[in-house]
Structure 1
Amino acid sequence: MKKETICGLNGYHIPCVNNLRGDERTAVIISHGFGSSKESPTAQAISAALSEHGIGTYSFDFPAHGDSPVTGDLLRIANCLNDLAAVEAHVHKLRPAAEIAYFSSSFGAYINLIYLATRPHLGKKSFLRCAAVDMPGLFRNGTSPEQYAQLREQGYIILDLNYLHPLKITREFYDDLGDHDLFQLCRPDMAELAMVHGDADETAPVEAARRFAERFGAGLTEIHGADHRIMNPGGKEQVINCAVQFFKTK
């Protein structure tokens, strides 16, 4: 895997990692989940699996995540979309003949779907793992009265839910979530979508994924007994197999 930083559209650099060799016909941009990073176990596993089939991958860190040089003050939806746009442009420059596609997890899937709905994009296929399709509702329901009081009084809260490191979440980020409802933004013609989701996911419940898949024509594979991380026996392998078949199919 090759590490590099690229210049983003927001005035800071974006840490990235890739396994591009030069002969790929498909390059998959990987977007990580909330509190995770470009080198999450899922990102590494899918990169290794796709590489075996001649498919390249390119992963990056969202603002305030992983090796990002910025704080949670810059964790905003527009900044995340700009970072994805910068990564996509860079991958296209590196491999102009390769078809671009997307693999994203949880929050990364939420961002990827907003990107497909609102920005010009090169990719025509997107694989969504444990997609947080109701990210606004997850934050609204998961924020305690005490945390809402902190948001009002100091403008931010600090979340530390087994993340790589604690995240500063601002009042403006909450406002961003309220402005980006996927069920209002998305369209069936944005891209070909495939989803995989654990039916025991308590972080991003599968019911929302079912509603999204039915409304927007996404193929949904449910993994019995799997939680948000899909760490049950055979779960990771099922995700990988579904993704490989999705990206290999023309």
Structure 2
Amino acid sequence: MNKEIIRGLNGYNIPGLNNLPRGEKMAVIISHGFGSSKESPTALAIAAALPEYGIGTYSFDFPAHGESPVDGKELRIGNCLNDLAAVEAHVRKLRPNTEIAYFSSSFGAYINLVYLATRRHEGKKSFLRCAAVDMPGLFRKEISQEKYSQLRKQGYIFLDLGFVQPLKITREFDDDLQANDLFKLCRPDMGEIAMIHGDADETASVVDARRFATLFGARLTEIKGADHRIMIPGGRKQVIDAAVYFFKGD
């Protein structure tokens, strides 16, 4: 895996992790969760596992995450979409004839779905792990009313819910979430979607995942007893196995 820097559409650099070994039939773009990074345990595990099946990966950091050079002021939904578009264009330049697909977790899955619904995209397959399909509701649930009032009045807050680093969240980011409701944006024809979700996920409700899968024709696999990180014994292997099965098209 090689670290790279991509010049983004927003004027700042995007840190990337290139794991395209050459000769792969598919390149999977990995999008991480909220407060995480391109080098999360799940992202690294997927990047390590897929090349055995002729599938390369490319992961990157969203604004204000990981090694991103910008702070929370740039953490906007439009910027995240632009970053995903820039990464996709970079992967296409590196591999002109390789099929593109997506693997995304939680907030990254939310961005992936907004991207599929609103932007031109090359990828036809998306694998969503613990997708935050109701990201606006999840955000409101995760912070106290006092914090939320401070956000609306002051214009920003710093949030640390066990993240890699505290995040500066702006009023504009909250407005972006309210303007991007997946249940209003998405369509069944956006692409082939597979989802894997723990039935004990207390962060991103499996009930929302079931509703999304039913409405938009996604294939949903539930892991009994698994939380948002799917940290039960054997959980990560189940995620990897399901992703391999989906991407290979068996």
TM-score class, shorter? over 0.9
Q: Give 1:172's aligned residue.
A: 172
Q: 4+ residue runs of structure 1 moved beyond 3 angstroms? A: none
2:241 maps to amino acid: N
Residues in 1 aligned to 2:98 and 2:198: alpha-carbon distance in whole angstroms: 31
Q: Give the deviation of 1:122 after TM superposition.
A: 0.2
Q: Give 1:103's aligned residue.
A: 103
Q: Give 2:163's aligned residue.
A: 163
Q: Give 2:183's aligned residue.
A: 183
Q: Give the deviation of 1:143 after TM superposition.
A: 2.6
Q: Give the deviation of 1:35 after TM superposition.
A: 0.3
Q: Give 1:52's aligned residue.
A: 52
Residues in 2 aligned to 1:90 and 1:236: alpha-carbon distance in whole angstroms: 28
Q: Give the deviation of 1:67 after TM superposition.
A: 0.1
Partner of 2:194, secondary structure, is strand
The answer on 1:153 being equivalent to 2:153 is: yes
Q: CA RMSD in A?
A: 0.8
Q: 182-191 or 149-158, which moves further after superposition? A: 149-158
Residues in 2 aligned to 1:154 and 1:201: alpha-carbon distance in whole angstroms: 32
Residues in 1 aligned to 2:47 and 2:177: alpha-carbon distance in whole angstroms: 29
The TM-score normalised by the length of structure 2 is 0.99
Partner of 1:214, secondary structure, is helix
Identity %: 76
Write out aligned runs for 1:1-250 (5 A).
1-249=1-249
5+ residue gaps in structure 1? Answer: none
Residues in 2 aligned to 1:54 and 1:94: alpha-carbon distance in whole angstroms: 16
Partner of 1:30, secondary structure, is strand
- Are the equivalent residues in 1 in contact too, given 2:24–2:51 (CA < 8 A)? no
2:181 maps to amino acid: D
- Are the equivalent residues in 1 in contact too, given 2:58–2:91 (CA < 8 A)? yes
Partner of 1:189, secondary structure, is helix
Residues in 2 aligned to 1:121 and 1:205: alpha-carbon distance in whole angstroms: 28
Q: 55-64 or 153-162, which moves further after superposition? A: 153-162
Residues in 2 aligned to 1:44 and 1:222: alpha-carbon distance in whole angstroms: 22
How many residue pairs were aligned?
250
1:195 maps to amino acid: M
Q: Give the deviation of 1:141 after TM superposition.
A: 2.5
Residues in 2 aligned to 1:97 and 1:46: alpha-carbon distance in whole angstroms: 22
- Are the equivalent residues in 1 in contact too, given 2:140–2:148 (CA < 8 A)? no
Residues in 2 aligned to 1:137 and 1:165: alpha-carbon distance in whole angstroms: 22
Residues in 2 aligned to 1:158 and 1:93: alpha-carbon distance in whole angstroms: 37
5+ residue gaps in structure 2? Answer: none
Q: Give the deviation of 1:140 after TM superposition.
A: 2.1
The TM-score normalised by the length of structure 1 is 0.99
Q: Give the deviation of 1:159 after TM superposition.
A: 0.6
Q: 144-153 or 21-30, which moves further after superposition? A: 144-153
* CA deviation vs aligned residue, 1:79-109 (integer Å, no higher than 9, x gap): 0000000000000000011000000000000
Q: Give the deviation of 1:149 after TM superposition.
A: 2.4
Residues in 2 aligned to 1:221 and 1:121: alpha-carbon distance in whole angstroms: 25
Partner of 1:100, secondary structure, is strand
Residues in 2 aligned to 1:226 and 1:145: alpha-carbon distance in whole angstroms: 28
* CA deviation vs aligned residue, 1:4-59 (integer Å, no higher than 9, x gap): 00100000000000111221110000000000000100001011110111100000
Residues in 2 aligned to 1:104 and 1:248: alpha-carbon distance in whole angstroms: 17
Partner of 2:200, secondary structure, is coil
Residues in 2 aligned to 1:78 and 1:158: alpha-carbon distance in whole angstroms: 20
